[in-house]
Amino acid sequence: MIDIKFLRDNPEAVRENIRKKFQDQKLPLVDEVIALDKEYRSAITEADGLRADRNRLSKQIGALMGQGKKDEAEAVKKQVSDNAKRLEELEKSEAELQEKVTKIMMMIPNIIDDDVPIGKNDTENVELKRFGEPVVPDFEIPYHTEIMEKLSGVDMDSARRVAGNGFYYLIGDIARLHSSILSYARDFMIGRGFTYCVPPFMIRSNVVQGVMSFAEMDAMMYKIEGEDLYLIGTSEHSMIGRFIDQIIDEKDLPLTLTSYSPCFRKEKGAHGIEERGVYRIHQFEKQEMIVVCKPEESREWFWKLLQNTVDFFRTLDIPVRTLECCSGDLADLKVKSVDVEAWSPRQKKYFEVGSCSNLSDAQARRLKIRVNGEKGKYFAHTLNNTVVAPPRMLIAFLENHLRADGSVAIPEALRPYMGGMTELRAK
């Protein structure tokens, strides 16, 4: 959510940003919110005047009564009563207008960074850099669930009977591999100076509305029936929510945190031929990184977070590339986002395994996360990035380390977490 003062002073800049995001249907919102804001501020001014009059008139009544001027005092009392009724109307109007302004402001997209490429959708995202040499072996690579099945590591049929489509059982060495990757990711981030956290896996609606747009909420979140609770789609939600209504001392910044959580997503209308198996599912686990920092430091932290993910995948000998999201592919709260994509030897292309995002002060403004600095209070900047999200990452792992005989090599960095195993073989 952008600052209403910025919109008030720079309406054309806000309109141009909306155009860059190809959301022209939102252009009328700018004039609408300006008009409502003007009405809201006018109501505040009139209400403040009436409150001042109330104090002045109350003293006047006392003076008139002291002088024995009862009739004049009664006339002033009537004026005070009339003013009180008007003040009550104004206070009610203030609340209603503020709610309307806030609702519209939450629909207006954040101002994107100047260097974000302009494009309508993800087909116009821009490749930044490749890390590692993508290899296509001289033998056929099966679909990832076939690799897992040969290793007795997955049961999709039972999961469908138990929970429906979009769920899975991981078994044996594959289940151990899944957990080992998460444990390694935890220690990798701790080694980079991040504090490890396990957050709540459910959050209240005010936190949901603080961390994401309404459209994202509807497409992603599972609501707990009968309670003001939602299952988290990523630990970023509850990690940022931790600081709701808090004032952070500037000397404590930056806050660098890495969190583990299960994640639950509806994934509405997102199923296709390459989304069978464990690629796009309703339940998965993830290691995340979160930073809360000063505004002037958020750009630098963005690139640091992105590099952490690249480095993590390279320690596991998986080629990756970074892909900058164009304006039309950016979620409304984000000012910049870069996806990390892993190489798929089977598909002979890259696919998304994580995303790094800078949300500037959008989440902090919604959640009232402020910093107490030398020059006064200001809103913090928040960033997040995926370290790793198995089981999707397992696809890249298995394809890139599969051998011709069906065994899967385990990179050296992961062996301590796999009990010293150097490979996976069918039993």
On whether both 267 and 162 belong to a single domain, the answer is yes
Residue 175 identity (one-letter amino acid): A
On whether both 164 and 32 belong to a single domain, the answer is no
Residue 167 identity (one-letter amino acid): F
pLDDT at 269: 54
Read off the pLDDT of each residue in 51-68 and give the average, rounded to a whole number: 72
Tracing tokens 């100047």 back to the chain, one arrives at 114
pLDDT at 273: 41
Active site residue 265: yes
On whether both 187 and 90 belong to a single domain, the answer is no
Does 65 have pLDDT greater than 90? no
* Mean pLDDT comparison of 50-59, 272-281, 394-403, highest-scoring range: 394-403
pLDDT at 223: 93
Mean pLDDT computed over every residue of the chain: 92
Question: How wide is the angle at C-alpha 256 spanned by C-alphas 255 and 261, nearest 5°?
Answer: 115
On whether both 218 and 140 belong to a single domain, the answer is yes
Condensed to tens digits (0 to 9), the pLDDT of residues 319-365 reads: 999 999 999 999 999 999 999 999 999 999 999 999 999 999 999 99
Residue where one domain finishes, among candidates 71, 105, 139: 105
Catalytic residue among 213, 355, 357, 360: 355
Catalytic residue among 276, 280, 314, 415: 280
Condensed to tens digits (0 to 9), the pLDDT of residues 71-106 reads: 777 677 777 777 788 888 888 999 999 999 999 999
Which of 47-51, 186-190, 246-250, 402-406 is least confident? Answer: 47-51
Read off the pLDDT of each residue in 279-299 and give the average, rounded to a whole number: 95
Long-range contacts, 304-308 (Cβ 8 Å, 24+): 305/356, 305/383, 305/384, 305/385, 306/338, 306/340, 306/356, 306/385, 308/188, 308/189, 308/192, 308/385, 308/387
Which of 198-207, 247-256, 277-286 is least confident? Answer: 277-286
Catalytic residue among 91, 94, 352, 423: 352
Binned at pLDDT 50, 70 and 90, residue 64 comes out as: low
**Does residue 246 fall inside a structural domain?**
yes
Active site residue 130: no
In the beta sheet, which residues pair with residue 371?
248, 378
**Does residue 411 fall inside a structural domain?**
yes
Active site residue 352: yes
Read off the pLDDT of each residue in 231-245 and give the average, rounded to a whole number: 95
On whether both 287 and 415 belong to a single domain, the answer is yes
Does 280 have pLDDT greater than 90? no
Helix (H) or strand (E) holding 81: helix 70-105
On whether both 127 and 78 belong to a single domain, the answer is no
Catalytic residue among 15, 186, 265, 299: 265
Helix (H) or strand (E) holding 151: none
The CATH number given to whatever domain includes residue 49 is: 1.10.287.40
pLDDT at 54: 73
Active site residue 403: no
Q: How many domains does the chain have?
A: 2
On whether both 197 and 155 belong to a single domain, the answer is yes
pLDDT at 279: 84
**Does residue 58 fall inside a structural domain?**
yes
**Does residue 243 fall inside a structural domain?**
yes
* Parent domain of 197: 122-424
Active site residue 392: yes
Catalytic residue among 261, 357, 392, 399: 392
Which of 58-72, 191-205, 214-228, 355-369 is least confident? Answer: 58-72
Task: Give the rounded percent of residues in the chain with a pLDDT score beyond 70.
Answer: 96
